[in-house]
Chains A and B, each alone.
Chain A
Amino acid sequence: MKMISIKKSDWAGAMEKVQKSYRLAGPVKEKKGHTFRELKDGETPDLEYSETRMSVKEVVLPQSEVMFSYSLDENKEGHHILEEVPFDETPRAAVGIRPYDAKAVEILKKNFMTEDYKDPYFERRYENLTLVGMAENNPSPVNFSTSCGTGPFDESCLDIILADAGDSYIGKALTEKGEKFAAAAGFAEGDSGVEAKLAELKEQAEGKIKSKVSFDKIEKMTILDLYEAPFWEEAAFACINCGTCTYACPTCWCFDIQDEVKGKDGVRMRNWDTCMSEVYSVHTTGHDPRHEAWQRTRNRFMHKLKYYLDKYEDGIMCVGCGRCVSQCPVNIDIRKVCQQMNDYEPSK
C-alpha cells in the first residue's frame, strides 16, 4: 500500500498528465453547483465540492446506453442483424467520488455481476474503471453513511483514497489499479505521517455524522409482516411518485429496454427506470399489482430495506449518502421510514 501526498497546486497538472492514458469522470463546478459527469479533455475534477446531485452510478450504469444497433436496409452490410455497439476500451477513472458512493458501485455489482451471470455492459464499464475516492471531511447533515456499513472515509471499495489535508491531498493507493493510476498521475509518495493524519481526519469526519438508521430488527421480521404493516399509507401519503429518489440513488439499479427506430435503422437501448412510475409495474394485461401510489413507495423501501437485506445478507441497499432525503420534493425521509420499519411490532 502506497501513501500519497499531492499539493493542491499540483492537482490540475497531475490530472492533465493522467488524462493521457485515462478518460476521467468527476465533479465539475457548474452554474448551479457541482455535477458529476464525464470530463472533457483538459477538464480537471474539482475536489473542493460538498456534494453532487447525481452519483457515480452514471459512469457504470448510464441513464441511457445503446446496447445494439440494427438496420433493415438490405443495401447495408449486416442488415437484419443486431450489431454490438463499439466500446471505447481506454481505461477510465472516476475521480473524486465519495467513499460511500464506491460502496454503492459494489452494491450494483451484486446485481450485474453475479457468479452465474455477468451483464456485459456493466462489466466492461466496471472492469476498466479506477475508483479514486475523495474522503469527506464535512459530511452533510443528511449523511448517515456510517450506519450503512460504510462512511466518509471508507476504503473498502476504492482503488485510491484521497483526503483534504489543508494545502495538499493525502491518501493511499489501495489496489493495483490504484497504484497504476497514481503512477500515471505522478502522485508524490507521502511520508509516514499520512496514515496517522488520515485516521485523525476520519475520526473527526465520522464524529460529525449525527443522523443514523438502524435495521437490526427489520432483519428478524417476516416480509409479510412488514408488507402489511399499517403505516405505509401514511408514510407514503405525500409521495408524488416522481423518479427523483431513484435516479439520484447510487444503488437503484432498475432499467428498462427500449427500441428506437428511424426509417429502416434502429437501436436497442436501456434507460434508467423507476419503480415510482406506474408503467414500471403494470402488466400487459392492464393489471397493475402496485396500482396505488403508496404501494409503489412501499415497494421502494421494502426493496432497499428488506428484500435486499434478506436476499444478500449484507446490510441494506443504501449507502446513506442522503441524496434522496435532500432532493425529495415532499420530504419523504428514508431515515424516518427505516426507523418506522425497525420500530414496528407486528401483532402476534
Chain B
Amino acid sequence: MSEFEPKIITFLCNWCSYGAADLAGVSRFQYPPSMRVIRVPCSGRVSPKMILSAFRKGADGVWVSGCHPGDCHYISGNYYARRKFDVLNEMLEYVGIEKGRLHFSWISSAEGVKFAAVAKDVIETVTKLGPAKKFIKKLPEVA
C-alpha cells in the first residue's frame, strides 16, 4: 500500500484556485503529483454528474476548489455551489462512499501557500483511504 499513488480529479475555478495552482507552481511549493486538474469557469459549473463521473471512471478522490464566499466572479456561483456540494457530499457518504474521498475548498488566486497545503492534505487523506473500490463502473465480465 505504501506504493499507492492516488488519482485525484481536481476541478479548479478559472478565476481563483486555478491561479493559485499556478502561483504555487511558480513559487516552487512542493506537493505530490497525484492530481489531474480540470479548469472550470466557476465552482458553480461543477455538476454532481461530473463528480460522479470521476468516481465512476475510477478516481480515488475528487477535489473542487472555488472562490471564497463573496468573491465569485459571477457574484453568486459559489454560493449556489456550496448548497449543491453540501447535499451531494452528504448523499455520497450516505450511500457508502468513505468520508475523505470528496474535498472542497475556497482558495483565492493569491493563496499559493494554501493551495499547496490543501493539495497535500487532500492527497494524504485519499492515500490513507487507499484505492477506491466503490462506484466504479467496470466493463461487463465476459465469461
A and B touch in the complex (CB under 8 A): yes
Q: Chain A residues in contact with chain B, CB under 8 A?
A: 64, 66, 69, 85-88, 260-262, 265-267, 269
Do B138 and A86 have beta carbons less than 8 Å apart? no
CB neighbours (8 Å) of B140 from chain A are 64, 66, 260, 267, 269
Do B138 and A262 have beta carbons less than 8 Å apart? yes
Do B143 and A88 have beta carbons less than 8 Å apart? yes
B87 at the interface (CB under 8 A from A): no
Which chain A residue lies CB-closest to B139? A262
CB neighbours (8 Å) of A66 from chain B are 140, 142
Please list 13 pairs of residues, one from A and one from B, whose beta carbons are closer than 8 Å in the complex, sorted by A's number.
A64-B140, A66-B140, A85-B142, A86-B143, A87-B143, A88-B143, A261-B139, A262-B57, A262-B138, A265-B139, A266-B139, A267-B142, A269-B140
Which chain A residue lies CB-closest to B138? A262
Do B143 and A260 have beta carbons less than 8 Å apart? no
CB neighbours (8 Å) of A85 from chain B are 142-143
What class of interface size applies to chain B in its complex with A?
under 10
Bound together, the chains give a CA A19 to CA B61 distance in angstroms of: 45
CB neighbours (8 Å) of A265 from chain B are 139
Those 9 A-B pairs whose CB atoms lie nearest each other, nearest first: A69-B142, A262-B139, A85-B142, A66-B140, A66-B142, A267-B139, A86-B143, A267-B140, A260-B139
Within 8 A of A (CB), among B51-89: 57
B137 at the interface (CB under 8 A from A): yes
Bound together, the chains give a CA A87 to CA B57 distance in angstroms of: 28
Bound together, the chains give a CA A260 to CA B137 distance in angstroms of: 10
Bound together, the chains give a CA A260 to CA B141 distance in angstroms of: 12
A225 to chain B, nearest CB (A): 45
